[in-house]
Amino acid sequence: MSSEEIEREQRVVSMLYGRLDDLRAGAADRLAKVLRETGGTPQARTERDTATAMYSQQLAQFGSVENGLCFGRLDFEDASHQHIGRIGIFDEDNDYEPLLMDWRAPAARPFYLATAAAPDGVKRRRHIRTSMRKVTAVDDEVLDLEAADPKRHEGLTGEAALLAAVNANRTGRMNDIVQTIQAEQDKIIRSGLNGVLVVQGGPGTGKTAVALHRAAFLLYTYREQLSRRGVLVVGPNATFLRYIGQVLPSLGETGVLLSTVGELFPGVTPDRTESVAVAEIKGRLEMTEVIAAAVRDRQRVPEDYLEIQFERETLKLDRKTCVQARAAARRSRRVHNKAKPLIIPIILDALAQQYAERIGADPLGGANLLDQADLDDIKRELSEDDGVQEALDWLWPTLTPQELLEDLFADKDKLETVAPEFPELYREPGGWTPADAALLDEAAELLGIDDTAIKAAESRRRQEEIDYASGVLDILDLQDEADPEILMAADLIDAGRLAGRHEDADYRTAAERASTDREWTFGHVIVDEAQELSAMAWRVLMRRCPSRSMTLVGDVAQTGDPAGTTSWSQVLEPYVEDRWRMEKLTVNYRTPSEIMAVAADVLGPELEAPQSVRDSGMDPWHAKVTNIPAQLGEFVAKEAAVIGEGTLGVIVPAGFGDAAAEVDLESQVSILTVWQAKGLEFDSVLVVDPARILADSPRGANDLYVALTRATQRLGVIHPGDLPDCLSRLAADV
Ligand SMILES: Nc1ncnc2c1ncn2[C@@H]1O[C@H](COP(=O)(O)OP(=O)(O)OP(=O)(O)O)[C@@H](O)[C@H]1O
């Protein structure tokens, strides 16, 4: 490419960075100005808070698009052209003409879709590669069938830039692919907001990348709708979330909540582990019945009667009354904690009657000496009595989800009553596992919160605000009394509305608020590695998204979790029946063809493995070793030396000594289990003891498939015994 062209693009790119600097300086100035302001009316204060949040967010956005601000240019048949980049920049002095078109704008679409066969008015597509603020290369594609290069791959856009991107060494953090999105990916990214979209694709087809770019696209296109409710992105584990954490900010988006399902229950951070078998049980739909039974088990009646000391009397609360009270509460179909107020009057009535009969009895045998007012007094006193409260708590305790499950899992007798078929659920008290989150959420649904007290306090507070506000209005009106022509303040605004204006507004982003609110419902939910979710986890996510505006990406051939799914329709049927759409991704951008051929053998011929976009020219190898712990270091050192600056992932069977609980993504060599490696990639991968990975789980073949497909360049397999037959394609290490 001529240096003249590079220089020409450099001038444009430098101009755009100049504009970016101006925008950044403008936002910084405005932010500094609002931060300097103090005092003023409450309304002025809230306006300042909004402005502060807005300018801070703008500053963060302008900072995050620094790398690769402008990466493309389209030249059209009509001799016009347009530069494409991470954000839109407009020429304020020239009728706001776009200087840089946001990649998500409809007008930028031909950059990803135009082909020689369907050029869509585009004559030439140019990929502009930059490093820091310097243009390093430009790659042109002339969209002209006659001039097309016969060596180019059918169906790939920007092949040179794409191959440069997929061949680059990995850093341990995922990069965005905004510069080289391919047509089949673009279609998914820009698919409409509504309904459930399933994206099925083999390893390395860009599912994660597509999911994240889709989040950015949706936030751009449906800004109004989505910034209020937020977008939730769910990933399989914390390492994975750290791996993808930078992608959305690099696309200028910050308002997205990234979470695992295990962390979706506010206030609970999973801090203990459990066996795969127990986690699998906890993921089963049958757990809904177990939890419902656990709640019913806490709604008790005495065998015979309960004795309650009140004043100097011993009252007896008989079984029949308790059964009646319980039946009334259950009949109401209210959730447990909200149904409690229904048993209270029945119990108090019975106790008050009994007490009145004792103390009000006419010694001469006449009618009871107490009247209704006395009875009411007795009931009030009973309701405040500790002994009575204790009895009520025994009959129908107010419970938090944590209390319900802690009491259940740490009590063999309770478990025996509630879930006799699952004694494995027993555990020592303290702490929660990732699978518990879905159970806590289910329990919260059945228990509810008795918010009568909270509501009463809220309405008291609001009344006080209204009283205060009417005081303010009175004062204003007094001042205006002299001139009846002037509109009274109270004519313009009533006290309720004035009070409402002064209520504290919440300026946290939707994502921040959502993370602390169990009942928050999102505008859109994106699930990565969706095949891993258990039936119980799906219930949690569906609750968070009643609009069913969802994108689910995954690969049923990679399911490792025994609680996970092998069929999308099975998972979705209970929630949306057959009203969901599926898109497929077919090209593998990560794994070279030589490695993909080995991986495909593991799953057999019925699986359609994705097509690799490139060959590496290197054969994956295997080596038989006698003593893995003693010899592994040697292989790691050799491989690390070969890849130089690149990353090496050593994937070991679960329970292998060296796998750390936390994976350090920054280090050159990571030792991790298949579960931890889900969704990640490394320039070179060493798979240790494939026979054990196969044997360790009912989904062992899927696990091995995942392990083998993490490599972007090189693959080696080390095995202590015979090489499993399915890997016979591997060449012996020399
Ligand atoms: N259009 C593209 N341009 C450049 N790189 C791409 C493109 N699509 C995907 N990639 C790269 O391919 C690799 C695999 O992508 P990604 O992790 O999204 O795949 P995946 O389908 O989620 O894989 P898996 O199911 O194995 O976890 C990443 O390095 C990603 O950046």
pLDDT tens digits, one per residue of 115-151: 888 888 999 999 999 999 999 999 998 887 665 555 5
Residue with tokens 């498939």: 705
pLDDT band (50, 70, 90) for residue 345: very high
Closest by Cα among 428, 661, 639, 507 to 47:
507
What is the position in ligand 1's atom list of the atom closest to the CA of 680?
Answer: 27
| Ligand 1 center–CA 166 separation, angstroms | 9
Is residue 496 pLDDT above 70, yes or no?
no
Helices of type H across 73-173: 110-113, 159-167
Report DSSP letters for 566-624, one per residue: S-HHHHHHHHHTT-EEEEEE-EESSS-HHHHHHHHHHH-TTS-PPEES---S---EEEE
Which range (23-37, 282-296, 353-367, 421-435) has the least confidence? 353-367
The mean-pLDDT minimum among 137-146, 184-193, 429-438, 634-643 falls in 137-146
Q: Which of 17-31, 155-169, 356-370, 408-422 has the lowest mean pLDDT?
A: 356-370
Amino acid at 382: L
Best mean pLDDT range from 462-471, 552-561, 624-633? 624-633
Nearest residue CA, atom 25 of ligand 1?
203
CA-CA distances (angstroms) from residue 652 to 154, 411, 558?
A: 38, 36, 17
pLDDT of res. 416: 96
- Residue 39 pLDDT grade (very low, low, confident, very high; cuts 50, 70, 90): confident
Average pLDDT value for residue range 208-215: 95
CB 124 within 8 A of CB 77: no
Contact criterion met (CB below 8 Å) for 295 and 396? no
Is 354 close to ligand 1, i.e. is its CB under 6 Å away? Answer: no
Which of 185, 207, 682, 709 most suits a substitution to test ligand 1, by most atoms within 8 Å of the C-beta?
Answer: 207
Q: Pick the residue whose CA is nearest to atom 9 on ligand 1.
A: 206
Check whether 192 has a pLDDT greater than 90. Answer: yes
Q: Is the CB of 212 under 6 A from ligand 1?
A: no
Whether ligand 1 lies within 6 angstroms of the CB of 612 is answered as no
Residue 659 has pLDDT above 90, yes or no: no
**How many angstroms separate the CA atoms of 330 and 296, rounded?**
9
Residue 117's alpha-carbon distances to 112, 149, 604, 620, in angstroms, are 14, 13, 36, 37
Q: Is 236 in the pocket of ligand 1 (CB under 6 A)?
A: no
Distance (angstroms) between ligand 1 centre and the Cα of 668 equals 20
Q: Would you tell me how many other CB atoms lie within 10 Å of the CB of residue 376?
A: 11
Highest mean pLDDT among 218-232, 354-368, 537-551, 566-580: 537-551
Residue 525 backbone zone (phi > 0: left; psi -120 to 50: alpha; other: beta): beta
* Residue in this structure with the two tokens 């350090």, named with its chain if needed: 664
- Residue 420: what pLDDT? 96
User: Which ligand 1 atom lies nearest to the CA of residue 679?
Assistant: 27
Residue 559 near ligand 1, beta carbon < 6 Å:
no
Q: Which pLDDT band, with edges at 50, 70 and 90, does 49 fall under?
A: confident
Of 254-268, 489-503, 588-602, highest mean pLDDT: 588-602
Measured in Å, residue 213 CA sits from the centre of ligand 1 at 12
Residue nearest ligand 1's atom 29 by CA: 590
Give residue 597 CA to ligand 1 midpoint distance, Å: 18
What does the alpha-carbon distance between residue 436 and residue 450 come to, in Å, rounded to a whole number? 23
Q: What is the pLDDT of residue 90?
A: 94
β partners of residue 611:
587
Judge if the beta carbon of residue 207 lies within 6 A of ligand 1.
yes
Region of poorest pLDDT, from 43-57, 315-329, 588-602:
43-57
> CA separation (Å) from 697 to 564, 672, 674, 700, 708?
13, 17, 11, 5, 16
Q: Ligand 1 centroid to 189 CA: how many Å?
A: 14
C-alpha 641/C-alpha 638 separation (Å) is: 5
Token representation of residue 433: 């596992």
Cα angle 117-120-125, degrees, rounded to a multiple of 5: 85
pLDDT at 470: 62
Q: Is residue 435 in contact with ligand 1, taking CB distance under 6 Å?
A: no
Provide the pLDDT confidence category of residue 53 given band limits of 50, 70 and 90.
confident
State phi, psi for 502 to the nearest 5 degrees. -90, -5
The CA distance from 14 to 268, in Å, is 48
In the reported structure, the alpha carbon of residue 210 is separated from the centroid of ligand 1 by a whole-number distance in angstroms of 8
Vertex 699, ends 671 and 556: CA angle to 5°?
A: 100
Cα 138 to ligand 1 centre (Å): 23
CB-ligand 1 contact for 164 (6 Å cutoff): no
The model's confidence at residue 38, banded by pLDDT at 50, 70 and 90, is confident
Tokens representing 600 are 């495909």
Please say if the pLDDT value at position 98 is more than 50.
yes
Ligand 1 center from residue 613 Cα (angstroms): 11
State the closest ligand 1 atom to the C-alpha of 205, by its place in the atom list counted from 1. Answer: 21
Pocket test for ligand 1, best of 556, 584, 590, 702 (most atoms within 8 A of CB): 590
- State the Cα–Cα distance between residues 226 and 204, nearest whole angstrom: 29
Give bridge partners of residue 551 from the DSSP assignment.
Answer: 197, 526
When mean pLDDT is compared across 340-354, 405-419, 483-497, 643-657, the lowest value belongs to 483-497
Q: What is the mean pLDDT of residues 36-64?
A: 84
What pLDDT does 82 receive?
Answer: 96
DSSP string, 479-522: HHTT-TTSPPHHHH--HHHHHHHHSPP--S-HHHHHTT-TT---
For residue 134, how far is its CA from the centre of ligand 1 (angstroms)?
26
Which residue reads 């996510």 in tokens?
Answer: 541
Q: Which two tokens stand for residue 280?
A: 């699998």
Residue numbers belonging to the annotated binding site:
201-208
Contact 692, 654 (CB under 8 A): no
Residue 310 has pLDDT above 70, yes or no: yes
**Does residue 45 surpass a pLDDT of 90?**
no
pLDDT tens per residue, range 590-610: 999 999 999 999 988 877 789
337 CA from centroid of ligand 1 (Å): 47
Q: How far apart are CA 59 and CA 254, in angstroms?
A: 12
pLDDT of residue 155: 67
pLDDT at 147: 58
The Cα 371–Cα 645 span in angstroms is: 91
Indicate whether 707 pLDDT > 70. yes
Compute the distance between CA of residue 40 and CA of residue 93 in angstroms, rounded to an integer: 35
Q: Which pair of structure tokens corresponds to residue 651?
A: 């994937």
Closest CA to 405 of 275, 277, 265: 265
Nearest-atom index, ligand 1, CA of 709: 26
Tokens for 67, please give them.
């790398």
Complex ipTM: 0.99
- What is the Å distance from ligand 1's center to 174 Cα? 9
Binding-site residues for ATP sit at 201-208
Work out the average pLDDT over 573-578: 89
Q: 282 pLDDT exceeds 60?
A: yes
Question: Pick the residue with more confidence: 5 or 461?
Answer: 5
Q: Would you say the CB of residue 702 lies under 6 angstroms from ligand 1?
A: no
Instruction: Look up residue 537 and give its two tokens.
Output: 């986890």
Asked whether the predicted pLDDT for residue 307 surpasses 90, the reply is: yes
Q: What's the chain's length in residues?
A: 734
pLDDT at position 660: 59
190 falls in which pLDDT band (50, 70, 90)?
A: very high
Mean pLDDT of the chain: 87
Asked which of 82-86, 285-289, 449-453 is least confident by mean pLDDT, the reply is 449-453
Positive/negative CA dihedral, 637, 643, 647, 652: negative
Q: Which residue CA neighbors atom 16 of ligand 1 most closely?
A: 206
